[in-house]
Structure 1
């Protein structure tokens, strides 16, 4: 069983018939000693040639010691002078091979991004004709009586989304030189000029990042009616492609009137690898062309695999386990050499005479043009999936690797559809108030994983920019991390562990410019990070077991692009909003097609189960999707939503609309009932009209409208609390696990209700692995109620198991702590002189370092050691004795009488000392780590001998003594001499307390 557990695959899915006692024992054993595969990972960034074998080994060994189990390797060029190791050179490949060997030795898995930088798949080996392309056009007005020869100008390329500055001179020249003619069309000039609303976006010339908050999550049809005088009848569009020679001369004149001639061609869209190492800069490869992708993979991934000894069909000899597609930041493309042929094959009609709609012209009428653009976008999605994503996945599979994908941001496809193709769908969330809000991607990735039955939902975690300044630490991240766990994430991949290629004497060392939290071995508190990582690993393990319980399934509309955004009323809070008492997921039409109904619940092949399907508020639905909804209804599903009136596509138009109308009338009976309608259909129920039409946002009814129906049909809330507590719920064959956490910085005492009665409850503490019985609880019907005490931002698991059978005590008892000793005075404190602190200081009382009159203490950053000796009355209770540290800034490791007892990093700031305590001469040592900020601020008062004008200082290049008197060195300057100092040290009060057991 050990080898299976190490895969972090839920055991009840592997062996559903295991006895309940075996499942319970495996769950508990995994919680106490989680497998390595559940450890958190890091984005391990290398900076454009700044790398060496020694730093690679030291980085990996420090990760192993701290409990990091995975790295995502990416090389970029952000804010640091270039190094001497040229990207993909023999030396570079040798160092990468060393990296893989060391990772293998240490049991750390390696995930390799599929291209330089983080954007996607490209490089200098990608030629312009194999790059991402768009259909561009020039327009020439001609009349019957024009005498002069007509030369149709070559259409210029569109401006790159990120601007011309992303292109080197060489790339700009190559881009401008590439052009391929596609077609020449002519049509009578419309009497009026009206364009399709938002046509550059709808025609996929641009797709901005959704995190920028200016981008629609999905595209809607224009509701305005276009004046017929501004339209182009498709029957009047002429194909003049053969009438233009190679010099662009048009050998054609209209018989009468004024005509517009459009010369259509293919040009590069301006997307380049970013922010790649300079030798890795190049075009992004064509996402519609398997040949272009194959050439790219062979030029990059293939060379790496060859160097490390990986061969197709052979088990990898090294630590590489995944290929990775990071957030989609390449934008969209709408053309390639075979696009017209692919479109015709997939949609069943030739797109040629609709080409003017690419440039905003209304062909036939607005609805027809919108339908064409919908079909065009759907075709691009299918090509990206078939010829790009699936090919990468197959490429990985040949080498016995998996594929992870972050399916969001600038993504021209449906996020949910893209993510479901991954072996592991991945999210990203930024540190609170330190960058963008991408929490929507957590909802998306968790939905994908739940619906697809995938156990892991990793997230690029705590990304940050500009003002982070080494301020994040385990305690500051506890609340947001627990939010992520409750939202569906079950593995953190911290952004970022910057490869520390500089000498260890130069700290905080290398950074990724101003980006990322500094999750690396140069952190002051890194020697104490293992306890926090153990907490994260235990949480990750439990949250990967079984399946998540969610009652509501929101159906995303068909088509693309689409960002799944649930109604805001389904979330409590804003940036890190929490799920409410009934959880939810989103799904796509293609996923729904694989569902069936069991006992009136919608069930997917991977095990995900839902009580109600909520349709999007859209007037369009393809006949194929509507037939799926009808099938589920007939089988017993509950569906909330209103009838569609037409198809979004030109495929089989207008017959497709007649099919939709007929099916809608059959299912809903009344096309537009203003009152609430609860109608049986087959074995199921269709609910429409009334308040189901009152939308929260743009697509879905208010959350309360849906939950009222769940309650009406006998489904109590999955979790309720009378205080500020978040939750998530997972279930297995014989058990239920709830993760709950306090969302405030104050202790709470709340009454909780759990929708399960699988045995008596236990409380599992992921910080220390302690498992204890819940002594008081009440069970009535399907619900268990119990009181719960949680300290500031504290979390725990409440575990229900059919094997747990004990009676509740007669009344709840509140835990109480009795203070028996105060140890807040007379401490010896040793600082590290190499960071400016005094070798020894006497603290008659505990104090904040940043307020000390001694500048060595005031500006100190690092670890200081507090020691004192005390006696303890042996007649007092000898178990349940705790050392309470009061306030700590920021982590503390406790040793008593030579026995290391552990590290405290979050509330409650205490540790059990019962096993090490004695009557006389107890020697207590507390190592306390603060943050880098104070020393960095203090050094701003000293001579700056760091990076100047984008170049390394000569003393560093030459290996000569450092000329300045600064203690720190870093590649990113984020403080000045007047910046506010940070509270630091052991602030107390430090007490010994006895707690009721």
Structure 2
């Protein structure tokens, strides 16, 4: 009987464990099956998108349907709708007219029908929230002032001029005549203050930046600060050179309607400041004329509510859209999009004083003279006030503007994407934290501005928040010239994927409203890479978009692995820049940049002039993210790692080398250390804020003693135990400082001493790493511009690596690898620009048997004559016979030399029975630019990048084989040919476009099937 009880007891003990094990195995198998299925057949969520630009009234229902069908045909499933005016002649359909609204309704319905996910810009133009419905009273505002001095000891009657509005940089005065009049006339008095005139000319430097009169584009303008420095020590200024707040008099009641002030002043010289409100000059640029108007007050919910009611809500109502639900189809309205911040800064709103008092716990009014650079009480207190002013404005922007837009979007079941830069007065990362999808931007290499910093910002916030998708405005360009094509962008594509971008939003697909006979057709002036259905190579681009979809699917799984978390310092504006030393510099991909001068002229800077920034910045072996101050409060510690609710996990927290920090943040850092975190950084000395002064500095000193101790700064790195964690500090952190943080080598040494190996090591290969339940995914890409053989070392062991080729969809096991001591070493080969995924999902032991890559020998060379047919697009229809493959631009026939479009090559070849049973590849050699292959009238596939090879084993037959190759080039040669015809006064042009890039001296582009074309046999 006892044995029976024991058996029953053992059964009830073991069976649940067995059941749990079985369920876990099934769950892991399901995850792995979903991983493989999604890679082979990517869902719409993994597909790319476009900025879909409409050019000021040039739109049609027919063109919209053709645009969308062309997108879906090549694998595009996301669009951002924006209508702009960039110099193209206006069309006949005014924005928001009845006809326009009817067309927009058609657009939404077509997106629903075709499964295209639509994001609506938050206002007309490509940036901001403004329009003609925005009253000047609801617009962005500055607190401005005028100053006069008088002698006292008498009743003074003096005229105080109205303060003048500030000139706005970047698109200034893009007003209608009526709006300009409103801008000039709008004025509201706030207060008149008087104080004894300080002696000398001591003033706050760069006060316009510090008091947020302007924030210029960091990405593109010379001299714009990454951040505004704070200090723990300030110059002592004599008291008679300062404004004593106790001596400030409010003389507003003496101001007459005509601007005359009457007041009885005590003896001495007095400075009188008349403070008032003016419009900042920010308008909805570059909006179409019917959408042109003032930008809304970014600190006031009433203003943004009014704007959304007159724009987004009006469109929703006309379309019949109420709320997106989980049951809604994939396509249709899905999100609002707030594009890059280009409306500059503001420093006033109606209730700013009340908000400031509530948030900072003191009255800002005595410090109003600091707006104009006067020093109140002391330089330190004035700088602290300006820091508090900027912080208050940041909070109001995040809560009252972006926070309201997000609530509005969510109330309609929509998501919100934000590009959190480029002229914003907030810290970029704090703005990014407001988004459901933080977005970044990168320009086509050699064709634009340096926005690479935005990639680290957006990917960091997505990782911290656990957002699986990181979209990017991709390949933005100036003077692109229709010469870009998928193969030319492959290296930069892989850079972006390894940087953490996993939804490309190509900039730009311009809506083609013209008849199909007009090609290349509509442009966005000279802006944007031309990614639209009128491209010569558009239909062949499906192969590239399929490649992207496979990559993006895998890179949207699990979470990103990163070891280092850089803490972004408090204060705004702030652009996060990681240490330059945390990136490998890639000299093979240097490119020039554009910069804007203050007079708004453009200058191009070559790589030779500025080699430090003109690279694709690939992360080194320890990856990283950045954390904004507000988000650090969500962090916890588990097993010595810093973790967030999303699951984002980091080995160390690295502090910026800043002398200031608020007590609230330092308390949180202490808490993390006490709970087991490892923190690297030097101690702060003071708070940057006037809030709670001077007690805040006393609190900082106490917390510093608790964490770092009271001793001198160590000459070398010191690892000090604090609670369950560690603080690591010493002069080496300061001496190696790189962009506010310790040099990467210093941080890497710390991680190595913690027994944390680099996540990935290989010469000439970039990477990114994602981890999920039962799998690790590494994306690896050749970054050298040459064929490459190297050992790749992955921080994982005990699992069998698999090679997943996103170019072909092939999945195969790695045959030869070593695995031990936390590392897996794989000998790998890459063609130029080639990339792979290495997936670890199954347990197994290392093996050195077999080879990881096929070897080839030439079985047959296609040296016979070719029949080549040229169609009538961009040239005359004709068929020719050629004995030798040539570049079209070398042809003596000008119709071929200047031809743009598709040509079809024909040839036959014979195989014996033994040859046809082998594994065979067709190698096309050099192709200008893309090719589609048929064998025996069967579609074999499209080649668009290295290696220009296709497996034809399933398509060959014994005996005679018919080979057909369609080859397409870019529009460049025909556009140049037409430029020559135009200069010769001839009228037989083949092309028509709204922006001219070429002249008779422009260089022709490589075109055609250049070869050599070979049949290759796999020999291993």
In which range does the TM-score fall when normalised by the shorter chain? Answer: over 0.9
Post-superposition CA distance 1:4-63 (Å, at most 9, x none)? xxxxxxxxxxx9996222211111111111111111000000000001111000000000
Pair 168,99 (structure 1): closer, same or farther in 2 beyond 3 Å: same
Q: Does 1:219 align with 2:228?
A: yes
Determine the structure 2 residue equivalent to 1:280.
291
Aligned match of 1:271: 282
> 1:312-347 CA distances to partner (integer Å, 9 max, x unpaired)?
587878701000000000111000111111111111
Q: Partner of 2:319 in structure 1? A: 308
Q: Is the 8 A contact 1:615 1:641 kept in 2?
A: yes
- 1:731-880 correspondence runs (5 A): 731-757=771-797, 759-801=799-841, 803-805=842-844, 807-810=846-849, 815-876=854-915, 878-880=917-919
Q: 1:231 aligns with which of 232, 239, 242?
A: 242
**Structure 2 vs 1, CA of residues 316 and 91 (structure 1 numbering), >3 Å: closer, same or farther?**
farther
Task: Provide the rounded CA distance (Å) in 2 between the counterparts of 1:234 and 1:518.
Answer: 59
1:900-924 Cα distance to aligned partner (Å, 9 max, x none): 0110000010001011101222111
Structural mapping, 1:836-985, within 5 Å? 836-876=875-915, 878-943=917-982, 964-985=987-1008
Once structures 1 and 2 are overlaid, which stretch shifts more, 470-479 or 210-219? Answer: 210-219
Q: Name the residue aligned to 1:570.
A: 582
Mapped partners of 1:231, 1:32: distance in 2: 71
Task: Give the C-alpha shift of residue 254 in structure 1.
Answer: 1.6
Quote the offset at 1:672 in angstroms: 4.2
Aligned mates of 2:873, 2:676 — CA distance in 1: 72
Task: Compute the displacement of 1:851 (Å).
Answer: 0.8
How many residues align? The count is: 964
Contact 1:729/1:736 (8 A) holds in 2: yes
**Does the 8 A contact of 1:620 with 1:648 survive in 2?**
yes
Alignment of 1:488 with 2:496, yes or no, is no
2:39 matches 1:31: yes
Deviation at 1:216, TM superposition (A): 1.1
- Tell me, yes or no, if the aligned pair for 2:173 and 2:281 is still in contact at 8 Å: no
Contact persistence 2:126–2:285 (CA under 8 A): yes
Q: Per-residue deviation at 1:227?
A: 2.8
Residue segments in structure 2 that go unaligned for 5+ positions in a row: 1-22, 586-612
Distance 1:239 1:978, change over 3 A: same
Structure 1 residue 553, shift from structure 2 partner: 0.4
Please state how far the C-alpha of 1:640 moved relative to its aligned partner.
0.5
Structure 1 residues 365 and 85: CA distance shift in structure 2, 3 A: same
List aligned pairs for 1:93-104, cutoff 5 A: 93-104=101-112
Equivalence for 1:549: 561
Q: State whether residues 324 and 334 of structure 2, in contact with CA within 8 Å, keep that contact through their aligned partners in structure 1.
A: no
Q: CA 1:340 to 1:531, structure 2 compared with 1: closer, same or farther past 3 Å?
A: same
Match of residue 40, structure 1, among 43, 48, 59: 48
Give the alignment partner of residue 240 of structure 1, picking from 251, 256, 280. 251
Seen in structure 2, the aligned counterparts of structure 1 residues 399 and 336 have a Cα distance that, compared at 3 Å, is: same
How far did residue 164 of structure 1 move? Answer: 4.1
Partner of 1:371: 384
Distance 2:638 2:428 in 1: 28
CA RMSD, 1 decimal: 1.7
Deviates most, 833-842 or 533-542: 833-842
- Tell me, yes or no, if structure 1 residue 646 matches structure 2 residue 686: yes
Query: Structure 1 CA distance, aligned partners of 2:790 and 2:751?
Result: 25
| 1:244 Cα deviation after fit | 1.9
Residues 613 and 370 of structure 1: is their aligned pair in 2 closer, same or farther, counting only changes over 3 Å?
Answer: same
Q: How far did residue 415 of structure 1 move?
A: 0.6
Q: Which residue of 1 aligns with 2:599?
A: none
Matched with 1:953 is: none
Query: 1:430 aligned to 440, 443, 454, which one?
Result: 443
Q: How far apart, in 1, do the equivalents of 2:324 and 2:968 lie?
A: 48
Moved more, 132-141 or 18-27: 18-27
Aligned match of 1:686: 727
For residues 47-446 of structure 1, what are the structure 2 equivalents within 5 Å? 47-144=55-152, 149-162=157-170, 164-212=172-220, 213-221=222-230, 225=235, 227-228=237-238, 229-311=240-322, 319-446=332-459
The change in CA–CA distance for 1:260 and 1:503 in structure 2 (over 3 A counts) is same
8 Å CA contact retained: 2:921, 2:1016: yes
Q: How does 1:446-595 map to 2 (within 5 A)?
A: 446-466=459-479, 468-573=480-585, 574=613, 575-595=615-635
- CA-to-aligned-CA distance 1:515-542 (integer Å, 9 cap, x gap): 0000000000001010100000110000
Report which stretch shifted further, 486-495 or 809-818: 809-818
Distance 2:990 2:337 in 1: 38
Deviates more, 1:228-237 or 1:575-584: 228-237
Structure 2 Cα separation of the partners of residues 339 and 774 of structure 1: 63
Q: Distance in 2 between matches of 1:411 and 1:251?
A: 41
TM-score computed with the length of structure 2 as normaliser: 0.93
- Cα distance per residue 1:625-680 (max 9 Å; x no partner): 00110011011111100111111101100000000001001110136414122111
Contact 1:273/1:283, CA 8 A, preserved across alignment: yes
List gaps (5 residues or longer) in structure 1: 1-14, 947-962
Specify the alignment match of 2:707 in structure 1: 667
Q: 1:744: how far off?
A: 2.2
Matches of 2:916 and 2:907 in 1, distance apart? Answer: 22
* Residue pair 1:734, 1:758 contacting (<8 A) in 2 also: no
Aligned to 1:957: none
1:733-755 Cα offsets, whole Å, 9 max, x none, are: 11100000001221101101100
The answer to whether the 8 A contact 1:569-1:696 is kept is: no
Verify the 8 A CA contact 2:819 2:845 in the aligned structure 1.
no
Q: CA deviation at 1:943?
A: 3.7
The structure-2 alpha-carbon separation of the partners of 1:188 and 1:242, relative to structure 1 and needing over 3 Å to count, comes to: same
Q: Is the Cα–Cα contact under 8 Å of residues 873 and 900 in structure 2 kept in the other structure?
A: no
Q: Distance in 2 between matches of 1:312 and 1:340?
A: 37
Larger CA deviation: 232-241 vs 791-800:
232-241
737, 756, 780: which one aligns with 1:715:
756
The separation in 2 between residues aligned to 1:912 and 1:814, in whole angstroms, is: 14
